[in-house]
Amino acid sequence: MSTLRDLYAYNAWANARVFAACRDVDGAQLAEAAPGTFGSIHETLTHMVGVENAYLHMLRGETSAAMGPREEYYGHDLAWFAERSARLGEQYQELLASAAESFYDEPLHVPWFDFPLTRHDGLLQVLSHSAQHRAQVFSVLGERGQQVPDLDYVLFVQSKRIDR
């Protein structure tokens, strides 16, 4: 499914841009409550990466316990989460490159939902979930006077052509 591979490449690119936009923001501002997000900007970004990580484990047939103790995982700084996000982008590409067509229709058990999902549903959930949280972060940053980059897909396509 080349469309999913393209969307996951875009997701990794967009995540890198949101982390880059936050790199120079004062830590107190990142930790401050941000209505419309998952608590604060910091909490929203770590939650976003944590969900991507948990789904990757579930899609591989592993448990999210493979991420290690929750307190330890979420105790890292944003630089660690930016690096983890980049690695997750690579790991999703590896997963998608090796997935047989039947992979997408297989059931995916997500412990916090009480209804059936397929792996295809889970892959789409990761993308939409991350897009929602990036939009929340950029909305708050913009409201606070920070410059935020454009995340249009066509800019991702353009950046790939420039990188060649």
pLDDT, residue 1, reads 58
- This prediction's pTM: 0.94
pLDDT, residue 164, reads 59
Which CATH number do you get for residue 88? 1.20.120.450
Average the pLDDT over 21-34 and give the result: 94
Cβ contact 148:136 at 8 Å? no
pLDDT digit string, tens, across residues 111-125 = 999 999 999 999 999
> Based on the structure, what is the number of domains in the chain?
1
pLDDT, residue 160, reads 85
- Mean residue pLDDT of the chain comes to 95
Give the structural domain span for 116.
Answer: 2-24+33-163
Does 161 score more than 90 pLDDT?
A: no
Q: Give phi and psi for 60, each to the nearest 5.
A: -85, -5
Distance, in Å, from the CA atom of 34 to the CA atom of 65, rounded to the nearest integer, reads 29
Please report, rounded to a whole number, the percentage of residues in the chain having pLDDT higher than 90: 90
